Structure 1
């Protein structure tokens, strides 16, 4: 197995191109390698500000748009049962990917922030994606120490991919 990116574009503000997706797949593998995560699937959805505002309000209780949201799937109880299904005699069992979680990125926020910070859309997109991925793995930035650790990890991955400021 390996790390896989499944993506969906639900916004109309900017075209998401194949080279952008290839860059995100590279970042996923670099971040996964840095964190010792070799297998799994990340679902990425590109949305507009209205959609991310609704998600932020409904799931986090914060009534405003944001740039990226992450919903980790590894926050489960050990006692949960595995999903079992029957196969016909001629079918082979396919291994189900370990779904790490969902990352939702607001494309209008990505555009705005790239302009505000004076770097490319791709650099900001990569930053938000790696940020979201680290959240899926349990990283947070609630205090200065954890924020510094998370920022260091993000910048190291982005530098490996050539996405510097």
Structure 2
């Protein structure tokens, strides 16, 4: 394994390890220092709850993030004008295709000013994950100045991890960690 390959897997391996540690300690990912990488900065979360995140579907129907309670939730904030977001998207789509979506929800939130542009991008790329749009200002921990921004929620709605910047999520280690989080009561 090359050094570059190894370094690209560090954030995902750290997340996997932290999921295991969190299950035996506090139930939340807690070791912020272990989650810091050059590819993506992980933001400390320490039991943060999400508050109310109001979204709308492509058809304009309102959706509350609480709809996904009982599942682990992979929330990704992105935009078509963000090059790292576009690079990251195929990996998210592949991860979702390999994940039990009855236990893990994927919520892609486009920050594009023109929703039609985001929908056309998804269609051109052949991506099938649903795209949502903010219906109100983003509450913490979603209101980052950096995108892509990914927030992983436990089934009870608490923040388990948060990544700012480009990450390759399509790895067996990350999928296993996500599914392990989804299995928590």
Higher Rg: 1
* Bigger proportion of residues as helix: 1
TM-score relative to the length of structure 1: 0.28
TM-score relative to the length of structure 2: 0.26
Greater RCO, 1 or 2 (C-alpha within 8 Å, sep 6+): 2
